[in-house]
Amino acid sequence: MKPQTAFKPVIGNISWPNQSKYYNKEIHSELVRYIDQTGASLRDLVKEIRTNRTSLSQYLNYRYEGDLAAFERKVEAFLRKKAPNTAGDQIVETGIYRTTISLLTFCQSHRAMGAGLGGSGGGKTTAAHEHARKNPNTTIITADPTRRSITKILRLISYRVQSRRGGSSDEILNGIIEKLRNSHQLLIIDEGHFLSWEGYELVRTIWDATSIGICYLGMPRLYSQMKGNKAYLWDQILSRISIARNLNTITREDVRLVSDFIHLGLQKSSINYLYEISQKPGKLRVLTALLKQADEVSKRRKIPLTVDLLKEVRRIMHIWK
């Protein structure tokens, strides 16, 4: 990798140049994939990598300010120690994955507001992070029950887009708008069903003022609450969503793709059994966990991976009946 060209941040508008061309894309992708797969928090990672939260966040968002080569050596050492199996991992392009990528691409290209609705475990988040890896002008924020207030959502978005973080809510909002206006950014709101109505109104205000792409990803109840008893409150948001996609459908071919990636050549009876699993809560996430465990048992016992073995491992794992 070529040495990084030294640069300094522009102090006035806190605008850092995009460094993605200097990054070791394999190391960066491995780290993001590790976070996706394990759910590791930044607080946990900064201890393991021996860095600080600001540097790690900047690195993940292609905005690292320091010695990039030295930082990536630390990340690589961590990955080889903690995640030796992440190297060479590939994305399984299921129907949900392809539909999510198509949705995000449309929103970014057309500066549109969109929504992707599907149950947990289908692969929406994986697709979102893969899109972000390939498109550095993408910012992902993840909503949760602890971030429902306007102040917390504002600060979360501000932190992700590297705009001002101090001051009043109006000042923070103006900083976000100034940073994002005409930036060709895509802002992905993952777990969007956790946002309050006020949170959606905040995001709508940002969209109206910046002309960027915005896409909500979340559970089907995201749309249900918009059509509920107080539907009149959601008119301003619904009228701006120009594209929506159902991200709930998992086919037998999807199951075959995932199973071949983990254990090539499963019998039809095993595929059918796994397909039944994929239609239950947890979808492909639970299916993958079950199949990986069964694959390990199969190798350890030196026996074929059959539907009976899958059922045995399922009982041991106490996965719903």
Which tens digit of pLDDT belongs to each residue from 217-249?
Answer: 999 887 777 776 566 778 888 889 999 999 999
Predicted local confidence at residue 164, as pLDDT = 67
Share of the chain above pLDDT 70, in %: 87
Residue 215 inside a domain? The answer is yes
Tell me which of 214, 246, 278 is where a domain ends: 246
Q: Is the pLDDT of residue 8 over 90?
A: no
| Amino acid at residue number 104 | L
Distance, in Å, from the CA atom of 5 to the CA atom of 67, rounded to the nearest integer, reads 10
**Domain harbouring 308, CATH code:** 1.10.8
Whether 115 contacts 223, CB under 8 Å: yes
Cα–Cα separations (whole angstroms), residue 16 to 8, 61, 123, 179, 210: 8, 11, 31, 11, 19
**Domain harbouring 201, CATH code:** 3.40.50.300
| Residue of 69 and 241 predicted with greater confidence | 241
Biggest CA-to-CA distance, the chain: 65
Both tokens assigned to 124 = 């929406």
If pLDDT is split at 50, 70 and 90, which confidence band does 85 have? very low
| Residue of 318 and 287 predicted with greater confidence | 287
Tell me which of 200, 230, 246 is where a domain ends: 246
149 and 215 fall within a common domain: yes
| Residue of 320 and 60 predicted with greater confidence | 60
Residue of 57, 61, 55, 17 whose CA lies nearest to 6: 17
Give the strands of the sheet with 241-246, arranged side by side: 138-142, 186-190, 213-218, 113-117, 241-246
Q: Is the pLDDT of residue 15 over 70?
A: no
Please count the other Cβ atoms lying within 10 Å of the Cβ belonging to residue 141. 18
236 and 143 fall within a common domain: yes
**Domain harbouring 32, CATH code:** 1.10.260
Mean pLDDT of the region 142-158 = 84
Share of the chain above pLDDT 90, in %: 44
| Residue of 306 and 234 predicted with greater confidence | 306
Residue 8 inside a domain? The answer is no
Residue 29 inside a domain? The answer is yes
Predicted local confidence at residue 254, as pLDDT = 95
H-only helix segments in the chain: 25-38, 42-49, 53-60, 68-82, 95-110, 124-134, 150-161, 169-180, 197-210, 221-226, 235-238, 252-262, 268-278, 283-301, 307-317
Tell me which of 196, 211, 246 is where a domain ends: 246
Residue 298 inside a domain? The answer is yes
If pLDDT is split at 50, 70 and 90, which confidence band does 32 have? confident
Mean pLDDT of the region 18-35 = 74
Which structural domain range is residue 183 located in?
Answer: 95-246
217 and 272 fall within a common domain: no
Pairing of strands 138-142, 241-246: unpaired
69 and 111 fall within a common domain: no
Q: Cβ contacts of residue 135 below 8 Å, gap of 6+?
A: 108, 186
Predicted local confidence at residue 4, as pLDDT = 37
Using a 10 angstrom Cβ sphere, with 0-12 exposed, 13-18 middle and 19 or more buried, the burial of residue 30 is: buried
Residue 310 inside a domain? The answer is yes
Instruction: Kindly report the average pLDDT of the chain as a whole number.
Output: 84
If pLDDT is split at 50, 70 and 90, which confidence band does 36 have? low
Beta bridge partners of residue 115, listed in sequence order: 216, 244
Mean pLDDT of the region 34-57 = 83
The tally of domains found in the chain comes to 3
Residue 11 inside a domain? The answer is no
Distance, in Å, from the CA atom of 315 to the CA atom of 22, rounded to the nearest integer, reads 48
Distance, in Å, from the CA atom of 94 to the CA atom of 115, rounded to the nearest integer, reads 19
239 and 259 fall within a common domain: no
Cα–Cα separations (whole angstroms), residue 222 to 79, 122, 132, 196, 216: 36, 16, 23, 10, 9
Predicted local confidence at residue 83, as pLDDT = 53
Q: Cβ contacts of residue 57 below 8 Å, gap of 6+?
A: 42, 159, 160
At residue 130's C-alpha, the angle toward residues 10 and 137, to 5°, is 25
Predicted local confidence at residue 16, as pLDDT = 40
196 and 259 fall within a common domain: no
What is the CA 170 to chain-centroid distance, rounded? 28
Mean pLDDT of the region 300-304 = 95
Q: Is the pLDDT of residue 30 over 90?
A: no
Q: Is the pLDDT of residue 6 over 70?
A: no
| Residue of 18 and 180 predicted with greater confidence | 180
Q: Is the pLDDT of residue 7 over 50?
A: no
Whether 145 contacts 194, CB under 8 Å: yes
Mean pLDDT of the region 4-31 = 53
221 and 278 fall within a common domain: no
Predicted local confidence at residue 201, as pLDDT = 92
What confidence tens digit (pLDDT) does each residue in 268-279 have? 999 999 999 999
Please count the other Cβ atoms lying within 10 Å of the Cβ belonging to residue 15. 13
3-state secondary structure of 233: helix
109 and 202 fall within a common domain: yes
- The dihedral over CA atoms of 221, 285, 72, 13, expressed in degrees to the nearest 10, equals -10
Residue of 243, 233, 192, 168 whose CA lies nearest to 213: 243
Model pTM above 0.75: no
